[in-house]
Amino acid sequence: MKKISSEQIIDALQKAVIRANVSLDANIIAMLRNAIKKEENELALKILNILLENAEISLSRNTPLCQDTGVAVLFVTIGSNVSIKGMPLEKAINEGIKEGYEKGFLRKSIVSSPIKRINTNTNTPTIIHYNYTEGEEFIIDLLIKGGGCENKSALKMLKPSDGINGINDFVIDTVKCAGAAACPPFFIGIGLGGNFEKCALLAKKALLRDVGAFNSKEYLKSMEVELLSKINKLSIGPMGVSGKTTAFSVAIEEAPCHIASLPVAVNIDCHSHRHRRIVF
Amino acid sequence: MKTIKLDLPLAEKQIIQIRSGDFVELSGFVYTMRDAAHKRISEMIEKGETLPFELKDSSIYYVGPTPSPDNAFPFGAAGPTTSDRMDTYAPIMLSNGVKIMIGKGKRSSNIVKLIEKHNALYLATIGGAGSFLAKKIISSKNIAFKDLGTEAIQLIEIKDFPCIVINDSHGNDFYRGLSAIAP
Protein backbone atom coordinates (compact mmCIF):
# COMPACT_ATOMS: atom_id res chain seq x y z
CA MET A 1 0.00 0.00 0.00
CA LYS A 2 1.37 3.39 -1.03
CA LYS A 3 0.73 6.05 1.60
CA ILE A 4 0.44 9.72 0.63
CA SER A 5 -0.27 12.50 3.11
CA SER A 6 -2.62 15.37 2.34
CA GLU A 7 0.31 17.73 3.15
CA GLN A 8 2.31 16.19 0.29
CA ILE A 9 -0.61 16.78 -2.08
CA ILE A 10 -1.11 20.39 -0.94
CA ASP A 11 2.59 21.19 -1.24
CA ALA A 12 2.99 19.59 -4.68
CA LEU A 13 -0.13 21.30 -6.04
CA GLN A 14 0.64 24.80 -4.80
CA LYS A 15 4.09 24.59 -6.39
CA ALA A 16 2.68 23.14 -9.63
CA VAL A 17 0.00 25.85 -10.12
CA ILE A 18 2.59 28.59 -9.71
CA ARG A 19 5.09 26.86 -12.00
CA ALA A 20 2.45 26.14 -14.65
CA ASN A 21 1.32 29.78 -14.68
CA VAL A 22 4.80 31.30 -14.77
CA SER A 23 6.95 28.95 -16.83
CA LEU A 24 6.09 28.21 -20.45
CA ASP A 25 6.82 24.57 -21.39
CA ALA A 26 10.12 24.22 -23.29
CA ASN A 27 8.31 22.37 -26.11
CA ILE A 28 5.95 25.32 -26.59
CA ILE A 29 8.88 27.73 -26.68
CA ALA A 30 10.35 25.52 -29.43
CA MET A 31 7.00 25.64 -31.26
CA LEU A 32 7.00 29.47 -31.03
CA ARG A 33 10.57 29.59 -32.41
CA ASN A 34 9.57 27.28 -35.25
CA ALA A 35 6.53 29.46 -36.04
CA ILE A 36 8.83 32.53 -36.14
CA LYS A 37 11.09 30.79 -38.68
CA LYS A 38 8.13 30.05 -40.97
CA GLU A 39 6.25 33.35 -40.63
CA GLU A 40 6.23 35.93 -43.42
CA ASN A 41 3.65 38.42 -42.11
CA GLU A 42 5.52 41.18 -40.29
CA LEU A 43 2.76 41.84 -37.75
CA ALA A 44 2.39 38.11 -36.96
CA LEU A 45 6.18 37.93 -36.50
CA LYS A 46 6.10 40.86 -34.11
CA ILE A 47 3.39 39.16 -32.04
CA LEU A 48 5.25 35.83 -31.91
CA ASN A 49 8.42 37.59 -30.79
CA ILE A 50 6.48 39.43 -28.07
CA LEU A 51 5.12 36.06 -26.88
CA LEU A 52 8.68 34.74 -26.60
CA GLU A 53 9.75 37.85 -24.72
CA ASN A 54 6.65 37.47 -22.51
CA ALA A 55 7.79 33.97 -21.52
CA GLU A 56 11.23 35.33 -20.59
CA ILE A 57 9.80 38.20 -18.51
CA SER A 58 7.42 35.80 -16.74
CA LEU A 59 10.34 33.64 -15.61
CA SER A 60 12.61 36.50 -14.59
CA ARG A 61 9.94 38.55 -12.74
CA ASN A 62 8.06 35.48 -11.52
CA THR A 63 4.76 36.74 -12.95
CA PRO A 64 2.06 34.78 -14.80
CA LEU A 65 2.28 34.36 -18.59
CA CYS A 66 -1.34 35.54 -18.80
CA GLN A 67 -3.46 37.57 -16.36
CA ASP A 68 -6.14 34.92 -16.81
CA THR A 69 -4.59 32.39 -14.48
CA GLY A 70 -7.62 30.28 -15.18
CA VAL A 71 -9.58 27.54 -13.57
CA ALA A 72 -7.35 24.70 -12.39
CA VAL A 73 -8.73 21.53 -13.98
CA LEU A 74 -7.40 18.33 -12.46
CA PHE A 75 -7.45 14.76 -13.72
CA VAL A 76 -6.56 12.51 -10.81
CA THR A 77 -5.49 8.93 -11.52
CA ILE A 78 -5.57 6.87 -8.36
CA GLY A 79 -4.64 3.21 -7.95
CA SER A 80 -6.49 0.78 -5.67
CA ASN A 81 -3.35 0.38 -3.53
CA VAL A 82 -3.02 4.08 -2.71
CA SER A 83 -4.04 5.40 0.69
CA ILE A 84 -4.43 9.12 1.41
CA LYS A 85 -3.74 10.12 5.01
CA GLY A 86 -5.03 13.28 6.68
CA MET A 87 -7.63 15.43 4.91
CA PRO A 88 -10.04 13.93 2.37
CA LEU A 89 -8.48 14.07 -1.13
CA GLU A 90 -10.87 16.69 -2.52
CA LYS A 91 -10.29 19.00 0.41
CA ALA A 92 -6.51 18.65 0.10
CA ILE A 93 -6.66 19.43 -3.62
CA ASN A 94 -8.70 22.58 -3.07
CA GLU A 95 -6.35 23.62 -0.26
CA GLY A 96 -3.32 23.20 -2.58
CA ILE A 97 -4.95 25.28 -5.32
CA LYS A 98 -5.97 28.00 -2.86
CA GLU A 99 -2.43 28.20 -1.41
CA GLY A 100 -0.84 28.31 -4.85
CA TYR A 101 -3.07 31.12 -6.11
CA GLU A 102 -2.40 33.16 -2.96
CA LYS A 103 1.38 32.60 -2.76
CA GLY A 104 1.91 32.97 -6.50
CA PHE A 105 0.08 36.33 -6.79
CA LEU A 106 -2.30 34.67 -9.24
CA ARG A 107 -5.73 35.98 -10.19
CA LYS A 108 -8.80 34.56 -8.52
CA SER A 109 -11.35 34.05 -11.27
CA ILE A 110 -14.07 31.83 -9.75
CA VAL A 111 -17.53 33.15 -8.87
CA SER A 112 -19.67 31.11 -6.50
CA SER A 113 -22.75 31.14 -8.74
CA PRO A 114 -23.18 31.89 -12.45
CA ILE A 115 -26.21 34.01 -11.49
CA LYS A 116 -25.06 35.75 -8.28
CA ARG A 117 -21.46 36.12 -9.54
CA ILE A 118 -19.66 36.73 -6.24
CA ASN A 119 -15.91 36.01 -6.41
CA THR A 120 -14.90 33.27 -3.93
CA ASN A 121 -11.46 34.96 -3.68
CA THR A 122 -9.66 31.63 -3.47
CA ASN A 123 -9.91 30.38 -7.08
CA THR A 124 -11.74 27.37 -5.63
CA PRO A 125 -13.77 25.18 -5.79
CA THR A 126 -11.64 23.70 -8.50
CA ILE A 127 -12.75 21.15 -11.13
CA ILE A 128 -11.64 17.56 -10.53
CA HIS A 129 -12.11 14.38 -12.61
CA TYR A 130 -11.18 11.00 -11.11
CA ASN A 131 -9.87 7.93 -12.86
CA TYR A 132 -9.48 4.75 -10.81
CA THR A 133 -6.81 2.19 -11.74
CA GLU A 134 -5.01 -0.76 -10.20
CA GLY A 135 -1.78 -0.72 -8.22
CA GLU A 136 0.10 2.16 -6.61
CA GLU A 137 -0.25 4.79 -9.31
CA PHE A 138 -1.13 8.29 -8.12
CA ILE A 139 -0.89 11.01 -10.77
CA ILE A 140 -2.40 14.47 -10.96
CA ASP A 141 -2.63 16.12 -14.37
CA LEU A 142 -3.12 19.84 -13.90
CA LEU A 143 -4.46 22.06 -16.66
CA ILE A 144 -4.70 25.82 -16.16
CA LYS A 145 -7.62 26.75 -18.39
CA GLY A 146 -8.36 30.35 -19.32
CA GLY A 147 -11.89 31.66 -19.82
CA GLY A 148 -11.39 33.32 -23.21
CA CYS A 149 -10.60 30.12 -25.13
CA GLU A 150 -12.96 27.98 -23.03
CA ASN A 151 -15.81 30.33 -24.07
CA LYS A 152 -15.10 29.60 -27.74
CA SER A 153 -15.26 25.83 -27.29
CA ALA A 154 -18.28 23.93 -28.64
CA LEU A 155 -20.09 20.59 -28.71
CA LYS A 156 -22.42 19.20 -31.36
CA MET A 157 -24.39 15.96 -31.60
CA LEU A 158 -23.78 14.95 -35.24
CA LYS A 159 -25.55 12.16 -37.14
CA PRO A 160 -23.48 9.01 -37.81
CA SER A 161 -23.95 9.69 -41.55
CA ASP A 162 -22.13 13.05 -41.16
CA GLY A 163 -18.92 11.04 -40.78
CA ILE A 164 -15.38 12.42 -40.93
CA ASN A 165 -16.40 15.28 -43.25
CA GLY A 166 -19.06 16.40 -40.78
CA ILE A 167 -16.53 16.24 -37.94
CA ASN A 168 -13.97 18.26 -39.93
CA ASP A 169 -16.55 20.92 -40.88
CA PHE A 170 -17.65 21.36 -37.27
CA VAL A 171 -14.05 21.66 -36.02
CA ILE A 172 -13.17 24.19 -38.75
CA ASP A 173 -16.30 26.27 -38.02
CA THR A 174 -15.49 26.28 -34.30
CA VAL A 175 -11.91 27.44 -34.96
CA LYS A 176 -13.14 30.20 -37.31
CA CYS A 177 -15.61 31.43 -34.70
CA ALA A 178 -12.89 31.37 -32.03
CA GLY A 179 -10.74 33.58 -34.29
CA ALA A 180 -8.57 36.21 -32.67
CA ALA A 181 -10.40 36.33 -29.34
CA ALA A 182 -9.32 32.87 -28.16
CA CYS A 183 -5.59 33.73 -28.56
CA PRO A 184 -4.21 31.68 -31.48
CA PRO A 185 -1.97 29.76 -32.18
CA PHE A 186 -4.21 27.18 -30.49
CA PHE A 187 -3.88 23.78 -28.92
CA ILE A 188 -7.06 21.94 -29.88
CA GLY A 189 -8.56 19.03 -27.96
CA ILE A 190 -11.27 17.04 -29.73
CA GLY A 191 -13.61 14.47 -28.20
CA LEU A 192 -15.40 11.98 -30.44
CA GLY A 193 -18.12 9.61 -29.25
CA GLY A 194 -19.26 8.74 -25.74
CA ASN A 195 -22.41 10.73 -25.05
CA PHE A 196 -23.15 14.44 -24.43
CA GLU A 197 -21.07 14.91 -21.26
CA LYS A 198 -18.48 12.19 -21.89
CA CYS A 199 -17.59 13.78 -25.23
CA ALA A 200 -16.80 17.16 -23.60
CA LEU A 201 -14.60 15.40 -21.05
CA LEU A 202 -12.72 13.56 -23.83
CA ALA A 203 -11.98 16.89 -25.55
CA LYS A 204 -10.53 18.27 -22.31
CA LYS A 205 -8.57 15.08 -21.72
CA ALA A 206 -7.08 15.33 -25.23
CA LEU A 207 -5.40 18.57 -24.08
CA LEU A 208 -3.37 16.57 -21.54
CA ARG A 209 -1.45 14.79 -24.28
CA ASP A 210 2.28 15.64 -24.56
CA VAL A 211 2.44 18.65 -26.87
CA GLY A 212 2.98 17.68 -30.49
CA ALA A 213 2.28 13.96 -29.91
CA PHE A 214 -0.30 12.15 -32.06
CA ASN A 215 -2.89 9.51 -31.16
CA SER A 216 -1.44 5.98 -31.22
CA LYS A 217 -4.40 4.78 -33.36
CA GLU A 218 -3.42 5.31 -37.00
CA TYR A 219 -6.91 6.42 -38.19
CA LEU A 220 -7.13 9.08 -35.47
CA LYS A 221 -3.57 10.23 -36.12
CA SER A 222 -4.38 10.76 -39.80
CA MET A 223 -7.46 12.80 -38.81
CA GLU A 224 -5.29 14.90 -36.47
CA VAL A 225 -2.71 15.52 -39.21
CA GLU A 226 -5.39 16.46 -41.76
CA LEU A 227 -7.24 18.78 -39.37
CA LEU A 228 -4.05 20.54 -38.27
CA SER A 229 -3.16 21.18 -41.89
CA LYS A 230 -6.68 22.43 -42.71
CA ILE A 231 -6.71 24.74 -39.67
CA ASN A 232 -3.33 26.23 -40.54
CA LYS A 233 -4.51 26.81 -44.11
CA LEU A 234 -7.22 29.10 -42.66
CA SER A 235 -4.35 31.59 -42.11
CA ILE A 236 -6.00 33.12 -39.04
CA GLY A 237 -2.48 33.40 -37.62
CA PRO A 238 -1.13 34.67 -34.29
CA MET A 239 -3.83 36.79 -32.56
CA GLY A 240 -5.86 36.65 -35.79
CA VAL A 241 -3.66 39.05 -37.76
CA SER A 242 -3.24 36.35 -40.46
CA GLY A 243 -0.19 34.13 -40.73
CA LYS A 244 1.18 30.65 -41.16
CA THR A 245 0.45 29.28 -37.68
CA THR A 246 -3.16 29.14 -36.43
CA ALA A 247 -2.80 25.96 -34.35
CA PHE A 248 0.19 24.19 -32.83
CA SER A 249 -1.55 20.87 -32.32
CA VAL A 250 -4.76 18.88 -32.70
CA ALA A 251 -5.34 15.96 -30.32
CA ILE A 252 -8.33 13.60 -30.66
CA GLU A 253 -9.65 11.18 -28.03
CA GLU A 254 -12.49 8.77 -28.78
CA ALA A 255 -14.90 6.53 -26.85
CA PRO A 256 -17.60 4.01 -27.81
CA CYS A 257 -21.03 5.56 -28.42
CA HIS A 258 -24.72 4.86 -29.17
CA ILE A 259 -25.69 3.51 -32.64
CA ALA A 260 -27.67 6.73 -33.25
CA SER A 261 -24.98 9.21 -32.18
CA LEU A 262 -21.80 10.94 -33.29
CA PRO A 263 -20.99 13.46 -30.55
CA VAL A 264 -18.12 15.90 -31.31
CA ALA A 265 -16.60 18.34 -28.81
CA VAL A 266 -13.92 20.92 -29.56
CA ASN A 267 -12.04 22.34 -26.59
CA ILE A 268 -9.84 25.26 -27.60
CA ASP A 269 -6.75 26.13 -25.61
CA CYS A 270 -4.76 29.31 -26.20
CA HIS A 271 -1.04 29.57 -27.02
CA SER A 272 -0.45 29.79 -23.26
CA HIS A 273 -1.11 26.05 -22.89
CA ARG A 274 -0.39 25.34 -19.22
CA HIS A 275 -0.23 21.64 -18.29
CA ARG A 276 1.76 19.95 -15.54
CA ARG A 277 1.85 16.29 -14.53
CA ILE A 278 2.57 15.47 -10.91
CA VAL A 279 3.58 11.86 -10.28
CA PHE A 280 3.60 10.81 -6.62
CA MET B 1 6.54 48.04 -40.02
CA LYS B 2 5.79 51.59 -38.95
CA THR B 3 4.91 52.25 -35.31
CA ILE B 4 2.77 55.32 -34.57
CA LYS B 5 3.33 56.79 -31.11
CA LEU B 6 0.25 58.42 -29.61
CA ASP B 7 -0.36 60.39 -26.41
CA LEU B 8 -3.80 60.10 -24.79
CA PRO B 9 -6.33 61.67 -24.89
CA LEU B 10 -6.48 61.94 -28.68
CA ALA B 11 -7.95 64.98 -30.41
CA GLU B 12 -10.85 64.46 -32.85
CA LYS B 13 -8.50 65.30 -35.74
CA GLN B 14 -5.98 62.64 -34.61
CA ILE B 15 -8.65 59.94 -34.36
CA ILE B 16 -9.77 60.65 -37.93
CA GLN B 17 -6.22 60.10 -39.21
CA ILE B 18 -5.80 56.68 -37.60
CA ARG B 19 -6.62 53.72 -39.85
CA SER B 20 -7.43 50.07 -39.16
CA GLY B 21 -4.27 47.97 -39.48
CA ASP B 22 -2.05 50.70 -37.99
CA PHE B 23 0.37 49.57 -35.29
CA VAL B 24 0.36 52.11 -32.46
CA GLU B 25 2.04 52.62 -29.08
CA LEU B 26 -0.11 54.48 -26.59
CA SER B 27 1.01 56.57 -23.63
CA GLY B 28 -1.26 58.26 -21.11
CA PHE B 29 -4.17 57.51 -18.78
CA VAL B 30 -6.66 54.67 -19.26
CA TYR B 31 -9.42 53.15 -17.08
CA THR B 32 -9.53 49.37 -16.55
CA MET B 33 -13.00 47.87 -16.90
CA ARG B 34 -14.32 44.42 -17.68
CA ASP B 35 -17.68 42.62 -17.40
CA ALA B 36 -18.77 43.42 -13.84
CA ALA B 37 -17.66 47.10 -13.89
CA HIS B 38 -19.42 47.63 -17.23
CA LYS B 39 -22.63 46.20 -15.79
CA ARG B 40 -22.47 48.52 -12.77
CA ILE B 41 -21.61 51.65 -14.79
CA SER B 42 -24.43 50.92 -17.27
CA GLU B 43 -26.91 50.51 -14.41
CA MET B 44 -25.71 53.78 -12.82
CA ILE B 45 -26.17 55.62 -16.14
CA GLU B 46 -29.68 54.20 -16.53
CA LYS B 47 -30.57 55.34 -13.00
CA GLY B 48 -29.05 58.77 -13.63
CA GLU B 49 -26.49 58.39 -10.81
CA THR B 50 -23.17 60.26 -10.64
CA LEU B 51 -20.39 58.16 -12.14
CA PRO B 52 -17.04 57.55 -10.40
CA PHE B 53 -15.20 59.06 -13.39
CA GLU B 54 -15.88 61.17 -16.47
CA LEU B 55 -16.65 58.94 -19.49
CA LYS B 56 -16.33 61.80 -21.97
CA ASP B 57 -13.12 61.42 -24.04
CA SER B 58 -11.99 58.50 -21.87
CA SER B 59 -10.08 55.38 -22.87
CA ILE B 60 -11.04 51.94 -21.53
CA TYR B 61 -8.83 48.85 -21.29
CA TYR B 62 -10.66 45.50 -20.94
CA VAL B 63 -8.41 43.84 -18.36
CA GLY B 64 -8.52 41.99 -15.06
CA PRO B 65 -4.88 42.12 -13.91
CA THR B 66 -3.04 39.91 -11.42
CA PRO B 67 -1.51 41.40 -8.25
CA SER B 68 2.12 42.56 -8.39
CA PRO B 69 4.73 40.36 -6.68
CA ASP B 70 7.16 43.31 -6.35
CA ASN B 71 7.41 47.11 -6.29
CA ALA B 72 8.61 47.40 -9.88
CA PHE B 73 5.17 47.66 -11.54
CA PRO B 74 1.57 47.83 -10.22
CA PHE B 75 0.55 44.47 -11.73
CA GLY B 76 2.07 41.06 -12.38
CA ALA B 77 0.24 40.27 -15.63
CA ALA B 78 -2.15 42.59 -17.44
CA GLY B 79 -3.11 41.39 -20.91
CA PRO B 80 -6.47 42.00 -22.60
CA THR B 81 -9.70 40.07 -22.14
CA THR B 82 -12.17 39.22 -24.95
CA SER B 83 -13.91 42.36 -26.17
CA ASP B 84 -17.07 40.78 -27.62
CA ARG B 85 -18.44 40.29 -24.09
CA MET B 86 -18.42 44.07 -23.71
CA ASP B 87 -20.50 44.52 -26.91
CA THR B 88 -23.60 44.53 -24.69
CA TYR B 89 -22.37 47.65 -22.89
CA ALA B 90 -20.36 49.39 -25.63
CA PRO B 91 -23.37 51.32 -27.09
CA ILE B 92 -24.03 53.10 -23.77
CA MET B 93 -20.32 53.67 -23.21
CA LEU B 94 -19.84 55.18 -26.68
CA SER B 95 -22.92 57.39 -26.46
CA ASN B 96 -21.55 58.73 -23.17
CA GLY B 97 -18.26 59.75 -24.77
CA VAL B 98 -15.81 56.83 -24.49
CA LYS B 99 -13.35 57.28 -27.37
CA ILE B 100 -10.95 54.36 -27.17
CA MET B 101 -11.61 50.73 -26.26
CA ILE B 102 -8.71 48.27 -25.93
CA GLY B 103 -9.15 44.49 -25.77
CA LYS B 104 -8.77 41.43 -27.99
CA GLY B 105 -10.83 39.83 -30.75
CA LYS B 106 -13.49 41.18 -33.09
CA ARG B 107 -16.53 43.37 -32.35
CA SER B 108 -20.09 42.85 -33.62
CA SER B 109 -21.12 44.73 -36.78
CA ASN B 110 -23.40 46.95 -34.69
CA ILE B 111 -20.46 48.11 -32.56
CA VAL B 112 -18.32 48.68 -35.67
CA LYS B 113 -21.02 51.07 -36.94
CA LEU B 114 -21.28 52.84 -33.58
CA ILE B 115 -17.49 53.30 -33.45
CA GLU B 116 -17.75 55.10 -36.79
CA LYS B 117 -20.76 57.14 -35.66
CA HIS B 118 -19.07 58.34 -32.46
CA ASN B 119 -15.65 58.95 -34.05
CA ALA B 120 -14.06 56.39 -31.74
CA LEU B 121 -11.45 53.60 -32.03
CA TYR B 122 -11.24 49.94 -31.10
CA LEU B 123 -7.74 48.57 -30.62
CA ALA B 124 -6.52 45.05 -29.94
CA THR B 125 -3.41 44.37 -27.91
CA ILE B 126 -1.61 41.04 -27.56
CA GLY B 127 -3.65 38.37 -25.78
CA GLY B 128 -1.61 36.19 -23.47
CA ALA B 129 1.30 38.64 -23.28
CA GLY B 130 0.41 39.36 -19.64
CA SER B 131 3.89 39.83 -18.18
CA PHE B 132 5.06 41.84 -21.20
CA LEU B 133 2.11 44.25 -21.07
CA ALA B 134 2.26 44.64 -17.27
CA LYS B 135 5.65 46.34 -17.78
CA LYS B 136 3.94 48.93 -19.99
CA ILE B 137 1.74 50.02 -17.07
CA ILE B 138 3.65 52.37 -14.82
CA SER B 139 1.06 53.44 -12.26
CA SER B 140 -2.34 52.46 -10.95
CA LYS B 141 -4.96 53.97 -8.66
CA ASN B 142 -8.29 52.50 -7.60
CA ILE B 143 -11.27 54.56 -8.78
CA ALA B 144 -14.30 52.43 -7.91
CA PHE B 145 -15.81 49.04 -7.02
CA LYS B 146 -12.95 47.76 -4.85
CA ASP B 147 -15.23 44.87 -3.83
CA LEU B 148 -14.93 43.49 -7.39
CA GLY B 149 -11.25 42.63 -6.82
CA THR B 150 -9.56 42.18 -10.20
CA GLU B 151 -12.69 43.64 -11.86
CA ALA B 152 -12.47 46.96 -9.95
CA ILE B 153 -11.97 50.14 -11.98
CA GLN B 154 -8.36 51.41 -11.85
CA LEU B 155 -6.93 54.51 -13.44
CA ILE B 156 -3.68 53.33 -14.96
CA GLU B 157 -0.88 55.13 -16.72
CA ILE B 158 0.44 53.28 -19.74
CA LYS B 159 3.71 53.92 -21.55
CA ASP B 160 4.40 52.77 -25.14
CA PHE B 161 1.56 50.27 -24.89
CA PRO B 162 1.42 48.29 -28.19
CA CYS B 163 -1.90 47.92 -30.04
CA ILE B 164 -3.25 47.12 -33.50
CA VAL B 165 -6.05 49.37 -34.74
CA ILE B 166 -8.99 47.05 -35.51
CA ASN B 167 -11.93 49.43 -36.01
CA ASP B 168 -11.34 53.02 -37.05
CA SER B 169 -13.64 56.04 -37.23
CA HIS B 170 -14.33 55.39 -40.92
CA GLY B 171 -16.09 52.06 -40.37
CA ASN B 172 -13.11 49.92 -41.41
CA ASP B 173 -12.59 46.54 -39.77
CA PHE B 174 -9.09 45.04 -39.80
CA TYR B 175 -10.37 41.47 -39.26
CA ARG B 176 -13.04 41.70 -41.96
CA GLY B 177 -10.31 42.61 -44.42
CA LEU B 178 -8.76 39.22 -43.62
CA SER B 179 -10.89 36.41 -44.98
CA ALA B 180 -10.22 33.73 -42.37
CA ILE B 181 -12.31 34.88 -39.43
CA ALA B 182 -16.02 34.05 -39.44
CA PRO B 183 -18.35 37.06 -39.89
Q: CA A122, B64, B21 angle in degrees (round to 5)?
A: 150
What average pLDDT does range B92-97 have in this prediction? 98
pLDDT band of residue B136 (cuts 50, 70, 90) is: very high
pLDDT-flagged residues of chain A (< 50) = none
Q: Are strands B23-32 and B153-167 parallel, antiparallel or unpaired?
A: antiparallel
Measured between alpha carbons, how far is A207 from A205 in angstroms, rounded to an integer? Answer: 5
- CATH code: domain B11-181 is 3.20.130.10
> Concatenated DSSP letters for A202-242?
HHHHHTTSPTT---SSHHHHHHHHHHHHHHHHT---GGGS-
**Catalytic machinery residues of B:** 38
**Contacting B residues, span 86-145, partner chain A, CB-CB under 8 Å:** 104-106, 124, 126-132, 134-135
pLDDT in tens, A179-222: 999 999 999 999 999 999 999 999 999 999 999 899 999 999 99
Nearest to B106 among A69, A147, A180 (CB): A180
Residue B182 has pLDDT above 80, yes or no: no
**All structural domains of chain A:** 2-20+65-145 (3.30.360), 148-273 (3.30.1330)
Nearest to B82 among A64, A151, A237 (CB): A151
Residue A115's contacts (CB-CB under 8 Å, 6 or more residues apart) are none
pLDDT in tens, B154-170: 999 999 999 999 999 99
Contact of A166 with A176, CB cutoff 8 Å: no
pLDDT in tens, A225-239: 999 999 999 999 999
User: Mean pLDDT in chain B?
Assistant: 95
